[in-house]
Structure 1
Amino acid sequence: MDFDPTPQQQDLRDAVAKLGKRFGHEYFVRKAKAGEHSDELWQEAAKLGYLGVSVPEQYDGGGGGITELAIVCEELAAAGCPLLLLVVSPAIAATIVARHGTEAQRQSLLPGFAGGTLKVCFAITEPDAGSNFHRLTTVAKPFDGGYSLTGRKVYISGVDESDKIMVVARLEDERTGKLKPAIFVVPANAPGLTATKIDMEIVSPENQFQLYLDDVRVPAEALIGEDPEAGLAALFSGLNPERITVAAMACGTARYALERASTYTATRAVWGRPIGSHQGVAHPLAHAHIQVELARLMVAKAATLYDAGRDLEAGVAANMAKYAAAEAAALAVDTAIQSLGGNGMTTEYGVSTLLGAVRAGRIAPVSREMILNFVSQHLLGQEKSY
């Protein structure tokens, strides 16, 4: 058991942290409130090779794994400028293509992921099914030379920034006649595809959308992989990195909030001494810090298991990491705001602007309740509750 990063991983962490500090939380908030995207940060991260750290080297990537991508996600968030599309495009979409795409799909798509010139969003969630792939109503029907997709998706991140959309639909199994998950790469401007922005109370440069697919026709090569039977495995190969990188981002956000708060409480003097000298202020911050460090350990474990190809164990750890990190981030931001008093609610001090994002982190991409259901059923042997 080795808790030390490799020299390359430490260099990556230091370099990404340096980049994040060049932009910072003020840049992030300014972009969000202006209705703009953090394009400059994305382009700079691409130029420095950070977006493609987990893409195989033969496709112009860094040849690392989800461990390295999680480092990028965490350190940008720790600087106050997280990139949500890191989770969506490199973590989910690029991993699915790298693991399950055809060689033609890898050659066509992966260099764009690595260079940051291609953004692909991921559409699984539906109004009535959530992300329960057994209940998805978006259906793909074969026609001569391709597939027709019809259905509806909701809470899809970054549609307005993306060149393509990775759509999870249900395709009829030729052998059994049953509908099974399949993944298609659809141009964002495909005829029959309509996107409607959802107004959210979250400070973020990335937007959420509803998608309507009305007989959206794609060629046969839009289906990820050569085997329609492999759709479920491909889906999970993307969902576990999603949970891991979301957790890493939450840990980074928590670190940012606690750094802001601890700096403030160490220098804010009332009655002749810093407010951080009082246990009523210091202990909640210390407690939150401990929870964040515990969550970071689980993120590292989940990423290590995933990169080792131990998918079943990685899935369990990824869910736990996401749960722990979301709870720790919500605690850290709330504690930071309380520590700053009235200043905690101002834009200037840069912590209240995190409230919406960390609260959403307890819901998406999988809710804390569903993770608890998973743990109680599969790890503690309890009867299924739903």
Structure 2
Amino acid sequence: MDFSESSEHTDLRAAVASIVSPFGGKYYAEHAKNREPCQEVWLALGEAGFVGVNIDEEYGGGGGGMLDLALVCEESAAQGVPLLLILVSAAISAEVIGEFGTDQQKSTWLPGLADGTSKVVFAITEPDAGSNTHRITTTATRDGDDWVLTGSKYYISGVDEADALLVVARTGRDEKGRSLMSLFIVPTEAPGLERTPINMDVMLPEKQFTLFFDDVRLGADSLVGAENKGFQQVFHGLNPERITGAALCIGIAKYALAQAARYASEREVWGVPIGTHQGLSHPLAQASMETELAALMMRKAAWLHDNGLPAGEASNTAKYAAAEAAVSAIDAAIQTHGGNGLTSEYGLLPYWGLARLLKIAPVSREMILNYIAQHSLGLPRSY
């Protein structure tokens, strides 16, 4: 086992930090409060080749793996600008299109995903299905050479920033009556596609949407991969989503802890820095250890994925541990700041909102516990 970081990854971190740090926490907090995308950071990272670091060089990407993308995700968050859409555009959509897309689909979509000028977001969840993907009711039916898409999706991130959606739809049933799924690339301006923003109290730059597909007509070239194999294909993107989700949480935690440590070292009460007191230093130290433990599991999950090995258990564990660590870190950081932790000046609340969201999405902690109970411990399926 080699736990040292390669010189290439050290350089990658430094390069990402040099791009993102000039924007920093105040930039993110302002954009989160105003519900405005952090497009300037996305484009700057894209121009440098980091948003598409996991995409094949043939299409303008960096030719790297999931660990490279996870480090980009982690470091940008650690510099104060977490980019939620990396999880869906770079980790899911780029991975799925790169693995299962036709040559035309790859040449059409991957270059823009690689340089940051385009985003493709992921649409799977539905109002009545939740985590039960088998209950998806959005259907795609054949009409000659075309497909007609009908149904709705719920809690779809970043539709207003994207050029297209990667949609999971039911295209048939097997001999036992279970749904068969397929994947489709759907332009966000397709006739018949309507979107309604979901009003969110949490402060995020990325908006959430409900989507309605009213007989959206798609050409035959919109199908990604094999018909009725979408459920299997989408799992190629779900582990990367969990890995980058973990990386995002780890970066958020590192940012919050850095802010808290600085404040605790400078703020004096009764003549000494407040960090002198164990009541404040110990929660920060504990959160730091939890973050490092999650980071180890995230790297293991990314390594397994990059080497073509089963990564489901590690990816889910990493996402669970990192989300828990991020919420603990930000809560400790807010407590360290006292009343200042709730002010706009210090800008911590937007990070708490994102970390708290990531305990629910893209997969809830409860569903991860179900997965580990069944697949790791061999317990009976509970759902």
TM-score bucket (shorter structure): over 0.9
Call closer, same or farther: CA 1:173–1:137 in 2, change over 3 Å.
closer
- Structure 2 equivalent of residue 362 of structure 1: 359
1:252 aligns to 2:251 (yes or no):
yes
- Structure 1 equivalent of residue 117 of structure 2: 117
Aligned-pair CA distance for 1:352: 2.2
Is the Cα contact below 8 Å between 2:32 and 2:350 reproduced in 1?
no
Structure 2 residue matching 1:142: 3-state secondary structure: strand
Aligned length: 383
Aligned-pair CA distance for 1:33: 2.6
Amino acid at match of 1:185: I
Is the Cα contact below 8 Å between 2:172 and 2:228 reproduced in 1?
no
More displaced 10-residue stretch of structure 1: 55-64 or 131-140: 131-140
More displaced 10-residue stretch of structure 1: 24-33 or 65-74: 24-33
- Structure 2 equivalent of residue 9 of structure 1: 9
Structure 2 residue matching 1:134: 3-state secondary structure: helix
Aligned-pair CA distance for 1:281: 1.0
Amino acid at match of 1:281: L
Query: In 1, distance between residues paired with 2:55 and 2:364?
Result: 28
Could you give the per-residue CA deviations for residues 307-346 of structure 1, whole angstroms, max 9, x where no partner exists? 1111x3x111110000000000000000111111111111
Could you give the per-residue CA deviations for residues 249-275 of structure 1, whole angstroms, max 9, x where no partner exists? 000000000000011111111111111
| 1:199-218 pair list within 5 angstroms | 199-218=199-218
Query: In 2, distance between residues paired with 1:370 and 1:35?
Result: 29
Query: In 2, distance between residues paired with 1:2 and 1:135?
Result: 43
Structure 2 residue matching 1:118: 3-state secondary structure: coil
More displaced 10-residue stretch of structure 1: 157-166 or 376-385: 376-385
- Structure 2 equivalent of residue 46 of structure 1: 46
Aligned-pair CA distance for 1:174: 8.4
1:346 aligns to 2:355 (yes or no):
no
Query: In 2, distance between residues paired with 1:90 and 1:19?
Result: 18
Could you give the per-residue CA deviations for residues 203-250 of structure 1, whole angstroms, max 9, x where no partner exists? 22110000011111101110102x214322210011111110011000
| 1:1-386 pair list within 5 angstroms | 1-172=1-172, 179-225=179-225, 227-310=226-309, 312=310, 314-386=311-383
Call closer, same or farther: CA 1:174–1:327 in 2, change over 3 Å.
closer
User: Aligned-residue CA RMSD in angstroms?
Assistant: 1.4
Is the Cα contact below 8 Å between 1:124 and 1:131 reproduced in 2?
no
Call closer, same or farther: CA 1:176–1:375 in 2, change over 3 Å.
closer
Residue ranges of structure 1 left out of the alignment (5+ in a row) = none
Could you give the per-residue CA deviations for residues 105-142 of structure 1, whole angstroms, max 9, x where no partner exists? 11221111111122111100111111422111111111
Query: In 1, distance between residues paired with 2:187 and 2:86?
Result: 19
Amino acid at match of 1:162: A
Could you give the per-residue CA deviations for residues 147-174 of structure 1, whole angstroms, max 9, x where no partner exists? 1111111110000111101111111158
Is the Cα contact below 8 Å between 1:73 and 1:248 reproduced in 2?
yes
Is the Cα contact below 8 Å between 2:165 and 2:188 reproduced in 1?
yes
Aligned-pair CA distance for 1:284: 0.8
Residue ranges of structure 2 left out of the alignment (5+ in a row) = none
- TM-score with structure 1 setting the length: 0.96
Could you give the per-residue CA deviations for residues 78-105 of structure 1, whole angstroms, max 9, x where no partner exists? 1111111111111110000011111221
Call closer, same or farther: CA 1:140–1:30 in 2, change over 3 Å.
same
Query: In 2, distance between residues paired with 1:189 and 1:177?
Result: 33
Is the Cα contact below 8 Å between 2:35 and 2:203 reproduced in 1?
no
Aligned-pair CA distance for 1:32: 2.6
Query: In 2, distance between residues paired with 1:379 and 1:87?
Result: 25
Amino acid at match of 2:49: G
